Chains A and B, each alone.
Chain A
Amino acid sequence: MVSSATSEALFSGQSVGVDVTQIERELALLWKNAARAEEGKEEKPNDGQQAVMRACVANLLIYVGSEKGTGSFDPEGVAGAPGESASLSDIITEIVARHPCRVLQISTHTRTGEPPIKAWISARCQLPQNGKRLCCEQINLSVLESAMAEVGGLVLPLLAPDIPVYFWWLTSDQPQGRYDRALDFSLPFYEELAESVDHVLFDSSCLSHPETTLVRLLYEMDRRGDALAFRDLNWARLTPWRQLTAQFFDSSEMQHFLSGLESVVIEGEPDHRPVSQQSLLFAAWIATRLGWKLAATQKSDTEWTIRLRGQQEAMIRIAGHGGSGGEVTAVQLNSTRGEQHAVFSVRRAEDAISAITSEQIGEAASRQRRVRMRYRTESRLMGDELEVAGRDVVYEESLAMVVRMLQ
């Protein structure tokens, strides 16, 4: 049972093992002890301790797949910036600082001789300006793989009621420390959880078999309709690229170049394939927004050429080179309208925190500007996605085009 002493330990970041059947009760005790401490503090206000406030605007359910090793679970290796990694714990800390959530983290193990399901509770606290410690709860569940069918029944009563439920679907042991088996819709708890979840968040850059997984994902999107929104962090990474591309055509004078668009060149780092999933998503976005139909795809070891039909024939060339993070690095759109040729481009700058946009119309000198384009960490991406509600139809259409391109 959570005592006053263990409460303070919890609020200072430690986790405490609790009986699986008593999780809510233990959490209630945790807050009760905090309230008592607060009352005591009123009598001696200068004891140096901050009051604790509980906050929760959503449930964040995280499935992390199998535990590494046999010790307490602390998964490392969720990708941060290219070449960097941040622990899942750090990522969660940053997410809850932006969106106070009840976090439920589920991992699996294969150790026999232990209880099939073990639970820990902890509090994640921060100190905002008003001086009160702002805390959220976290529940960690470690589940024997053969007991995974029990997860749904265990988790559903633990969801804080009547607030959104986000399901961040991570899995394990991908090359470069990323996670594998993402979006395994055959997992025993998926069907049960899907009924109570509003948003599934995943990262399509981690898919080892996108050709099959994305087809199944499209099926799920269609099947669930408005009841469940799927959000792809890899798509979210493209948002600044989409914004900067869209900005070229905000003015009515520039919009006529859209109908004259004849070729698009996308350069990107390979992921585990020469042409990254992100580059394909960007190509598909361009094609679907302009109403282009897929005519043919030519694939080589280093680039893809995609031929499309719209008002006129168009081509998208995707070249893979550079690092291995799968990120788009440059985009160029070429258009001819009458006698006038126009080139619009966005290129990531060498400083890695900005991009250079350029537009050249006819013979006029090109107009360039440098804008901020920071690499968005996993926590930042997640924070942004937690601000959005509902389906992203533009993404779904783009994804369907990606599937056609892959096939």
Chain B
Amino acid sequence: MNVTKDHLSSNPFREGLRLEKTPEPCAVVIFGATGDLTARKLMPALYNLFLERLLPTGFSVVAFARREKTVEQFRTEMREAVSAHSRTQPLQAGVWRAFAEGIFYHRSDFRETEGFVGLGQLLNRIDRERGTCGNRIYYLATPPDCYDDIITQLGLAGLVESPPRVQGQVPDSGPGGDDQTGWSRIIVEKPFGHDLATAHGLNEMLLSVFRENQVYRIDHYLGKETVQNILIFRFGNGIFEPVWNRRYVDHVQITAAENLGVEGRAGYFEPTGTLRDMVQNHLLQLLALVAMEPPASMEASAVRDERLKVFRSLHLPEPEEIAQCSVRGRYSEGSLAGLHVPGYREEPGVAPDSTTETFVAMRLRIDNWRWADVPFFLRSGKRLPKRVTEISIQFKRPPLLLFGEAGRTVEPNILTLRIQPDEGISLKFGAKLPGQSMRLRSVNMDFHYSTSFGVQPPEAYERLLLDCMLGDSTLFTRRDEVEAEWQFVDSVRLGWQDTSTVPLCEYQAGTWGPDESHALIARDARRWRRL
């Protein structure tokens, strides 16, 4: 059984209903369900989907983890977690009880074959009792080093549906062989590998058990309303796209700044660093949405094809170019919001001789007809003065500056897409100051989500989980995208191997990164926006 959008549209009761997304019954199996991600994000997201009547009858969650626990214990813990972290408050007791009836707990090690056989039995029982029809989503909420075991065991236990391939047809899902029916999908959390080779290995391993269209690589940035709005803004309006090119755009800046440090996640961050943690996925995905061509349709493959083209057009810097187009930094002790904060190497869990970067600034080139010679500046870092993510498109100045001296005070037009916080869009333009003399000043025309739409947007995970249940992979990253991103990141890392040409520059916590970052953009006669 399969519900696609075609099936939805063939349901006559769906016509005219604003809410068109209700997936068919399924079970979500969360591996590593006792972890933080489940408590803080996944379970609140599923509860809110249930609350909004977006989940089907029989929807079930199977928590798969190593810790000994009873189902009741786990349900109680999840109730507390949802009470604490759900965007909708307070928890509705009756609805929670109905939702919790569909939560199950299965204890096993990820390497135990019997554990996966038991999982299969539990899922079959849920199919019989709750009508989930053999439809499963496997969510890998574990450290990446567990992926191999879980995926292998899922395959060995026959828990992945694999329909016969028909030439010329790539079925998304359908009845499987043997006694297996329904569809199977897997959601993989980042990091998708550590470099191109490991990403390739992870993909090969995933694809030894699943088909690519069963794999959903989640980047929660893509589920944010403001990120989705980039496509609406660009392709849903007639006035921006004509100027969205090298003829009118001077340069683009993408900033993802955090004021936090590693916050107890040194174990994850130390071997990762900002380039892998932020640039490889979030920033490059934002870049792709800003730079891509209009897709042929909003179908997943069409959108992802266009994103991929951007990655393939990225100029891969040669090692000798790296010093000119990248800066890496590490925060030292400083002051933030009036508090003294330690340097990165003094953070708990960080090696005193750590060489991990906590800041990256880059100048990128997209070698295609639309963006040739338009620099894209990216920067991301920890312990910067504030938490802000934004994309700003700086337009070229008018060809002729009238208004004499007064005209020189006007800044170029800047279109800013604020991703978080204070989500919105603003356009900076010049205006005449009231008075007899000709004086100009730059003013902002602002759109704020919070003031135009007084509703609370759904969490990114709600949107992404629902999309996966519906089989819509538009907001997930495809294998070739991931590998193209790593190819770029690897070329940067290769250049960084020579620490004498690209040193790890110190910056004081609470500042906008090392001086070299400002020098990087100044070489192009531009400057970072003051945020």
| Distance in angstroms between the alpha carbons of A258 and B454 in the assembled complex | 39
| Distance in angstroms between the alpha carbons of A274 and B97 in the assembled complex | 35
Which A residues touch B92, using CB under 8 A? 353-354, 372
| Distance in angstroms between the alpha carbons of A353 and B455 in the assembled complex | 20
With A247-B22, A367-B57 as known contacts, state yes or no: A242 contacts B13, CB within 8 Å.
yes
Interface-lining segment among B47-55, B114-122, B481-489: B47-55
| Distance in angstroms between the alpha carbons of A258 and B11 in the assembled complex | 9
Nearest chain B CB to A242's CB is how many angstroms away? 6
A-B contact count (CB 8 A): 115
Q: Contact at B98–A249, with CB atoms within 8 Å? A: no
Q: Contact at B450–A249, with CB atoms within 8 Å? A: no
Which A residues touch B15, using CB under 8 A? 289, 394
Decide yes or no whether B56 CB sits under 8 A from chain A.
yes
Decide yes or no whether A155 CB sits under 8 A from chain B.
no
Q: Contact at A249–B13, with CB atoms within 8 Å? A: yes
Q: Which residue of B lies closest to A246 (CB)?
A: B13
Among B11, B19, B452, B453, chain A packs the most CB atoms within 10 A around the CB of B11
Interface string of B453-492 (1 = CB under 8 A from A): 1110000000000000000000000000000000000000
Within 8 A of A (CB), among B47-103: 50-53, 56-58, 92, 94-95, 97-98
Decide yes or no whether B130 CB sits under 8 A from chain A.
yes
- Count chain B residues whose beta carbon lies closer than 8 angstroms to a beta carbon of A: 40
Please report whether the interface of chain B is mostly helix, strand, loop or mixed according to DSSP. loop
With A255-B10, A367-B130, A371-B98 as known contacts, state yes or no: A130 contacts B450, CB within 8 Å.
yes
Decide yes or no whether B398 CB sits under 8 A from chain A.
no
Q: Contact at B7–A353, with CB atoms within 8 Å? A: no
| Distance in angstroms between the alpha carbons of A369 and B131 in the assembled complex | 12
Q: Contact at B53–A371, with CB atoms within 8 Å? A: yes
Q: Contact at B13–A245, with CB atoms within 8 Å? A: yes
Which A residues touch B455, using CB under 8 A? 98, 383
Within 8 A of B (CB), among A349-407: 349, 351, 353-354, 357, 359, 367-373, 383, 388, 392-395
Decide yes or no whether B422 CB sits under 8 A from chain A.
yes
Decide yes or no whether B400 CB sits under 8 A from chain A.
no
- Count chain A residues whose beta carbon lies closer than 8 angstroms to a beta carbon of B: 49
Q: Contact at B17–A252, with CB atoms within 8 Å? A: no
| Distance in angstroms between the alpha carbons of A242 and B25 in the assembled complex | 19
Q: Contact at A289–B57, with CB atoms within 8 Å? A: no
Nearest chain B CB to A211's CB is how many angstroms away? 25
Q: Which residue of B lies closest to A388 (CB)?
A: B18
Q: Contact at B450–A354, with CB atoms within 8 Å? A: no
Among A250, A252, A289, A353, chain B packs the most CB atoms within 10 A around the CB of A250
Nearest chain B CB to A248's CB is how many angstroms away? 8
Q: Contact at A130–B422, with CB atoms within 8 Å? A: yes
| Distance in angstroms between the alpha carbons of A384 and B12 in the assembled complex | 23
Q: Which residue of A lies closest to B18 (CB)?
A: A388
With A289-B12, A369-B58 as known contacts, state yes or no: A252 contacts B452, CB within 8 Å.
no
Which B residues touch A290, using CB under 8 A? 12
The answer, among A97, A239, A372, for a CB contact under 8 Å with B51, is A372
Which B residues touch A246, using CB under 8 A? 11, 13-14, 17, 22
Q: Contact at B24–A98, with CB atoms within 8 Å? A: no
Nearest chain B CB to A368's CB is how many angstroms away? 8
Within 8 A of B (CB), among A322-355: 349, 351, 353-354
Interface string of B148-191 (1 = CB under 8 A from A): 00000000000000000000000000000000000000000000
Which B residues touch A359, using CB under 8 A? 57
Decide yes or no whether A129 CB sits under 8 A from chain B.
yes
Decide yes or no whether A109 CB sits under 8 A from chain B.
no
Q: Contact at A249–B53, with CB atoms within 8 Å? A: no
Among A252, A253, A349, A354, chain B packs the most CB atoms within 10 A around the CB of A252
Q: Contact at B94–A351, with CB atoms within 8 Å? A: yes
Q: Contact at B50–A371, with CB atoms within 8 Å? A: yes
Q: Which residue of A lies closest to B448 (CB)?
A: A130
| Distance in angstroms between the alpha carbons of A57 and B454 in the assembled complex | 11
Which A residues touch B14, using CB under 8 A? 246, 250
Which B residues touch A57, using CB under 8 A? 452
Q: Which residue of A lies closest to B7 (CB)?
A: A252
Decide yes or no whether A251 CB sits under 8 A from chain B.
yes
Decide yes or no whether B500 CB sits under 8 A from chain A.
no
Q: Contact at B451–A53, with CB atoms within 8 Å? A: yes
Decide yes or no whether A65 CB sits under 8 A from chain B.
no
Decide yes or no whether B2 CB sits under 8 A from chain A.
yes
Within 8 A of B (CB), among A215-271: 239-240, 242-247, 249-253, 255, 258
Q: Contact at A353–B94, with CB atoms within 8 Å? A: yes
With A250-B22, A370-B97 as known contacts, state yes or no: A134 contacts B12, CB within 8 Å.
no
Which B residues touch A100, using CB under 8 A? 451-452, 454
Which A residues touch B130, using CB under 8 A? 367
Other A-B pairs, 18, CB within 8 Å; known A99-B454, A289-B13: A55-B452, A97-B454, A98-B453, A99-B453, A128-B450, A129-B450, A242-B17, A251-B7, A252-B1, A252-B7, A255-B11, A289-B12, A351-B94, A353-B95, A354-B92, A368-B57, A370-B94, A371-B95
19 A-B residue contacts at CB 8 Å?
A53-B451, A55-B452, A130-B450, A242-B13, A243-B22, A243-B53, A246-B11, A246-B14, A247-B56, A251-B2, A252-B2, A289-B13, A353-B95, A354-B98, A367-B58, A370-B94, A370-B97, A371-B98, A394-B15
Q: Which residues in B have some Cβ–Cβ distance to A below 8 Å?
A: 1-3, 7-8, 10-19, 22, 24-25, 50-53, 56-58, 92, 94-95, 97-98, 130-131, 422, 448, 450-455
